[in-house]
Amino acid sequence: MGDTSRWRLDVAYRGTSFHGFAAQPGLVTVAGELQRSIATVCRLAEPPILTCAGRTDAGVHATAQVVHVELPTPLPPGRDGTEWSSDDLVRNLNKLLPEAVRVLDATTVSPSFDARHSARWRRYRYLIHEALVAEPLLSELAWHVPGPLDVRAMAQAVGSLIGSHDFRAFCRKVPGTSPGDPIIRLVTEATVAVVPDPGVVDLAQGRLIRIEIQASSFCHQMVRSIVGQLVEVGAGRSNAAELVALLRSQSRQGAARPAPAAGLCLIGVGYDAEVTDGGAGLLEGPNDA
Amino acid sequence: MGDTSRWRLDVAYRGTSFHGFAAQPGLVTVAGELQRSIATVCRLAEPPILTCAGRTDAGVHATAQVVHVELPTPLPPGRDGTEWSSDDLVRNLNKLLPEAVRVLDATTVSPSFDARHSARWRRYRYLIHEALVAEPLLSELAWHVPGPLDVRAMAQAVGSLIGSHDFRAFCRKVPGTSPGDPIIRLVTEATVAVVPDPGVVDLAQGRLIRIEIQASSFCHQMVRSIVGQLVEVGAGRSNAAELVALLRSQSRQGAARPAPAAGLCLIGVGYDAEVTDGGAGLLEGPNDA
């Protein structure tokens, strides 16, 4: 490759259509589709290397994933010979991508910007539809729980996760780590609330409960493990004290099953302006919710 | 069949999964799936006749469809020999139905209750996602329109449809009717508004516009035809006066293309208590949005 520039792509996708973000041979993945359309549009001989802010699992959605990639500069000229704007790049990538993934924005960034390591925080949302009967329009967007759930008890319990903790009890084991390794993460926000107006869907019955968690970074299946435990609390089978005890135990023994992937969505990633301009990443560790 | 009772079923479905409500040989339809599960659960030799409040087209959703059907009385006893409650009936029907259709409630009604003819009003909602780039999580729930759309102009235009009008300009021709036949419908509410909190989906860009129309009944593709015209108004290619002129022309000549099915959802059907108790239906005409 000759001269290159680093680009930041803001990406949204319906997780149901993909085997997760990370490219895997023979499987349809978000990264695989992005690589294919970028290679075609930018006339690359090889699929480009992509780095994302949060490597989402199969079935997990994103409205605000961030990716960085090196692209040749200048970009290939359009048919009329004029140089592409970033809007042209976005439009041309989306033409080749399946409907279930969209590039929302493309901007050139400093060569030191790293979608993963420069990220200061990630924010995930989890939706629960509490109702006697499931709502077909929500089947890919929310976890149906018959309930009843005590939302106040859930909100109190989730609040005890705020701060810096060893989240081993709420993480799926990462290959290559030993069980004794601490998994420290800083949770800065954690809320549970009933959605006042479900907006997109007019619920004939039940209610929609939204859980939002923001942290420096997340370990594997952390949000889904927390939500699984919170539903135990909401259903009265556990309580905030047991959740804290589980956190302190640093072990998955006795933990609830992680909540299903469909309810989860990556809704935000934050970067410092200085970091975006050039600072190296200060956060380490795998970021896979 | 021996003794029967008339039942009202409240039903929700994801229209994307079906070739519309009405049963059609060789196609997967909402009525076809309901008939199959009812016949099995109630041990009927033949699929039962179903009547619905609004015969939705392929791809159109419902959160509040109403259906009536005659079922044997008493219902078949459960495994333990006890008679089924209506909750048992709901649970057993849902066990056999595909996830994309759910029976929300089942109640016995007077033999004179008719899901279609006793209905006083139907209410439909149409969602538009106005944004530069489509949102993958909304692809089956909203129509993506790049915009910009003037929501105030759309709201003013839709208001002029309130009242009793001949809606031939906004109806797909119904087989068996002659072009000269008036198609009178009474629209009682019609609103266009930006959804303040999209609730289910955290939009990274753009906004969600919700159109709601309530009428005595609807003719075929009436809401979608109105929405197609409203988007012309919102985009500045037409205006409220032209919409009124089109309505008065009683002809589809010059009308916009109907909006796509995915944005449309049947969200309510109203019955008078007296009508539900025994009065015959006072409304006539096909009710197919």
DSSP code of residue A66: E
Q: Are residues B93 and B124 in the same domain?
A: no
Q: Are residues B264 and B134 in the same domain?
A: yes
**Beta-sheet pairing, A4-13 with A101-109:** antiparallel
Query: Is residue B87 one of the residues assigned to a domain?
Result: yes
Q: What are phi and psi of A211, to 5 degrees?
A: -110, 125
Q: Which residues of A touch B205 (CB under 8 A)?
A: 104-105
A57 noted as active-site residue: yes
How far away is chain B from the Cα of A18, in angstroms, using its nearest Cα? Answer: 12
Residue ranges making up the domain that contains B209? 120-269
Residue B175, pLDDT score: 66
Other Cβ atoms within 10 Å of B33 Cβ, number: 20
Q: Along the 289 residues of chain A, how does pLDDT read in single tens digits?
A: 578 999 999 999 999 999 999 999 999 999 999 999 999 999 999 999 999 999 999 999 999 999 999 999 888 776 677 788 899 999 999 999 999 999 999 999 999 999 999 999 999 999 999 999 999 999 999 999 998 999 999 999 999 999 999 999 999 876 666 767 889 999 999 999 999 877 788 888 899 999 999 999 999 999 999 999 999 999 999 999 999 999 999 988 889 999 999 999 999 999 987 555 433 333 334 445 5
Across the interface, whether the CB atoms of A195 and B199 are under 8 A apart is answered yes
A33 close to B (CB below 8 A):
no
Query: Is residue A275 one of the residues assigned to a domain?
Result: no
Q: Where is the domain boundary, B76, B99, B117? A: B117
Query: Is residue A156 one of the residues assigned to a domain?
Result: yes
Element (H, E) at A127: strand A119-130
Residue B285, pLDDT score: 42
**Beta-sheet pairing, A264-271 with A61-72:** parallel
Tell me the C-alpha distance between B115 and B271, whole Å.
9
B90 close to A (CB below 8 A):
yes
> Which residue's structure tokens are 């106040």?
A152
Residue A202, pLDDT score: 83
DSSP code of residue A26: T
Q: Are residues A65 and A192 in the same domain?
A: no
Radius of gyration of chain A (CA): 20
Contact B130, B207 (CB under 8 A): yes
Closest to A267 (Cα-Cα) out of A202, A191, A201, A207: A191
How far away is chain A from the Cα of B166, in angstroms, using its nearest Cα? Answer: 29
Q: Are residues B44 and B174 in the same domain?
A: no
Q: Which residues of B touch A270 (CB under 8 A)?
A: none
Which residues 170-229 in chain B show a CB within 8 A of chain A? Answer: 195-205, 208, 210
Q: Are residues B113 and B124 in the same domain?
A: no
How far away is chain B from the Cα of A33, in angstroms, using its nearest Cα? Answer: 14
Reduce the DSSP state of residue A73 to 3 states and report it. coil
DSSP string, chain B: --SEEEEEEEEEE-GGGSS-SS--TTS--HHHHHHHHHHHHTT-SSPPP-EESS-PPTT-EEEEEEEEEEEESSPPP-TTSPPPPHHHHHHHHHHHS-TTEEEEEEEEE-TT--TTTTEEEEEEEEEEEESSS--GGGTTTSEEE-----HHHHHHHHHTT-EEEE-GGGSPPPTT--TTS--EEEEEEEEEEE-S--BTS--SSSEEEEEEEEES---TTHHHHHHHHHHHHHTTSS-HHHHHHHHHHTS-TTPPPPPPGGGEEEEEEEE-HHHHHTPPP---S----
A97 close to B (CB below 8 A):
no
Element (H, E) at A86: helix A86-96
Tell me the C-alpha distance between A122 and A289, whole Å.
10
Query: Is residue A168 one of the residues assigned to a domain?
Result: yes
Across the interface, whether the CB atoms of A139 and B202 are under 8 A apart is answered no
Residue B201: is it exposed, middle or buried by C-beta count within 10 angstroms (0-12/13-18/19+)? buried
Q: In this complex, how many residue pairs, one in chain A and one in chain B, have their CB atoms less than 8 Å apart?
A: 129
Tokens of A67: 């990716």
DSSP code of residue A99: T
* Terminal Cα-to-Cα distance of chain B (whole angstroms): 33
Confidence (pTM): 0.90
For residue A200, give the nearest of B94, B101, B199 by CB distance.
B199
**Beta-sheet pairing, B101-109 with B51-52:** unpaired
Q: Are residues A233 and A137 in the same domain?
A: yes
Contact B258, B218 (CB under 8 A): no
Tell me the C-alpha distance between A35 and A50, whole Å.
8
Across the interface, whether the CB atoms of B197 and A200 are under 8 A apart is answered no
Q: Which of B57, B80, B181, B288 is catalytic?
A: B57
Task: Name the residue of chain B whose CA is nearest to A266's CA.
Answer: B202
Query: Is residue B278 one of the residues assigned to a domain?
Result: no
CATH number at residue A83: 3.30.70.580
Tell me the C-alpha distance between A88 and A72, whole Å.
15
Among B129, B200, B269, pick the best mutation site for testing chain A contact (most A Cβ within 10 A).
Answer: B200
Dihedral (C-alpha) A236, A241, A244, A249: value to the nearest 10 degrees? Answer: -100
Q: Which residues of A touch B204 (CB under 8 A)?
A: 10, 12, 63-64, 104, 267
Flag residues of chain B having pLDDT under 70.
1, 78-79, 174-177, 179, 274-289
Closest to B94 (Cα-Cα) out of A136, A264, A288: A136
Q: Which residues contact residue A261 at a Cβ distance below 8 angstroms, ignoring those fewer than 6 apart? A: A15, A57, A58, A59, A60, A224
A99 close to B (CB below 8 A):
yes
Contact B251, B84 (CB under 8 A): no
B96 close to A (CB below 8 A):
no
Across the interface, whether the CB atoms of A100 and B208 are under 8 A apart is answered no
**Reported ipTM:** 0.87
Across the interface, whether the CB atoms of A12 and B100 are under 8 A apart is answered no
Across the interface, whether the CB atoms of A135 and B61 are under 8 A apart is answered no
Tell me the C-alpha distance between B73 and B109, whole Å.
13
Q: Are residues A201 and A97 in the same domain?
A: no
Q: Are residues B130 and B265 in the same domain?
A: yes
Residue A166 vs residues A51, A59, B54: alpha-carbon distances, Å: 26, 26, 55
CATH number at residue B220: 3.30.70.660
Query: Is residue A160 one of the residues assigned to a domain?
Result: yes
Q: Are residues B77 and B183 in the same domain?
A: no
Q: Are residues B24 and B68 in the same domain?
A: yes
Query: Is residue B277 one of the residues assigned to a domain?
Result: no
Radius of gyration of chain B (CA): 20
CA-angle at B212, arms to B209 and B214, nearest 5°: 175
Residue B259, pLDDT score: 98
Q: Are residues A63 and A77 in the same domain?
A: yes
Q: Are residues B75 and B101 in the same domain?
A: yes
The total of structural domains in chain B comes to 2
Tell me the C-alpha distance between A39 and A71, whole Å.
9
Q: Which residues of B touch A97 (CB under 8 A)?
A: none
Query: Is residue A282 one of the residues assigned to a domain?
Result: no
CA-angle at A107, arms to A104 and A110, nearest 5°: 145
Q: Where is the domain boundary, A116, A150, A170? A: A116
**Beta-sheet pairing, A207-215 with B51-52:** unpaired
Other Cβ atoms within 10 Å of B58 Cβ, number: 15
**Beta-sheet pairing, B163-166 with B184-194:** antiparallel
